[in-house]
């Protein structure tokens, strides 16, 4: 599974980090999403939850 994060769309709400802190972090300077792992097969439910909870829809999940 591949995760795509659109930093331009991100508003820094942090729901992704709360849902999957092994995959996402927040930039110390602007609070926007940082991907720790672009591809992951662990914590799939946390990543799916992060995608659903993102208020700016900055996260996308693909199967490639």
User: Out of 3-12, 39-48, 55-64, which region has the weakest mean confidence (pLDDT)?
Assistant: 39-48
Q: Identify the bridge partners of residue 33 per DSSP, sorted by sequence position.
A: 26
Residue 37 structural domain? 2-62
* Helix intervals (H) in the chain: 15-19, 44-53
**pLDDT for 22:** 93
**pLDDT for 54:** 98
22-59 pLDDT, tens digit per residue, is: 999 999 999 999 999 999 887 899 999 999 999 999 99
The residue among 20 and 41 whose pLDDT is bigger is: 20
Q: In this structure, are residues 42 and 57 in contact, taking their beta carbons and an 8 Å threshold?
A: no
**CATH at 20:** 3.30.70.20
CA-based max dimension of the chain:
31
Residue range 5-28: average pLDDT?
A: 97
Measured CA distances, 27 to 10, 13, 31, 45, 62 (Å): 11, 12, 5, 23, 23
């Amino acid at each position: 599974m591949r995760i795509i994060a659109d930093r331009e769309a991100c508003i820094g709400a942090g729901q992704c980090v709360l849902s999957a802190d092994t995959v996402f972090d927040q930039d110390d300077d602007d609070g926007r999403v940082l991907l720790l792992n672009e591809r992951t097969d662990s914590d799939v439910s946390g990543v799916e939850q992060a995608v659903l909870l993102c208020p700016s829809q900055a996260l996308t999940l693909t199967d490639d």
